[in-house]
Amino acid sequence: METDLHQAITASGLRMTRQRQVILDVLRQSHGHLDAEALHDRVRQQDPRISLATVYRTLALLKEFGLVQEHRLGEEHGHFEAAPQAPHYHFTCLKCRKVIEFQASSVQRVVREVAAKESVQITDVHLLLSGYCADCSREGVEGNHET
């Protein structure tokens, strides 16, 4: 639960650094889906010297290890979260940008079907729903031409 980073790192012949540990720790403690800058800000509170480049580098590494997931939530930048125990998916509000997580076992069924039918090996599943949350449900996606 905390040594899996050490494990992955050394198994790969890489080196354990304070930066890598801090970045993973911060991501694990943070609920929600942080972008690189937001993560950098929080990481700096633990160690003000860590650079944004190292945040990006470490995120790429943690993704390879399967310890971190990146999501595209409809914006021009990525959002990151520590890999959860059970897979989950996302809804994001086009107006207020709120993110709601949900589970749906039937998605795994679809994944198995596609894997079989297309003879592919599936390693990642991203389901993103977007629209308007309960608070924002009013106007639609396109043109509200009323006053």
Q: What residue ranges bind DNA (CB under 7 A)?
A: 9-10, 13-20, 35-37, 47, 49-54, 56-58, 60, 75-78
Alpha-carbon span 125 to 122, nearest angstrom: 8
With respect to its own copies, which residue has the nearer C-beta, 31 or 49? 31
CA geometry: angle 100, 103, 105, nearest 5 deg = 155
- Which of 48, 118, 144, 147 binds its own copies (CB under 8 A)? It is 118
Q: Whole-number minimum distance, CB 134 to its own copies, in Å?
A: 4
Instruction: Look up residue 70 and give its two tokens.
Output: 């990146």
8 Å CB contact between 102 and 133: no
Q: Which among 18-26, 34-42, 48-56, 102-110 is the span making contact with its own copies, rule CB under 8 A?
A: 102-110
Question: According to the binding rule CB under 8 A, does residue 9 interact with its own copies?
Answer: no
Question: Across the strands, what pairs with 61?
Answer: none
Question: According to the binding rule CB under 5 A, does residue 133 interact with Zn ion?
Answer: yes
Distance separating the N- and C-terminal Cα atoms of the chain = 55
Instruction: Point out which residues bind Zn ion (CB under 5 A).
Output: 93, 95-96, 98, 133, 136
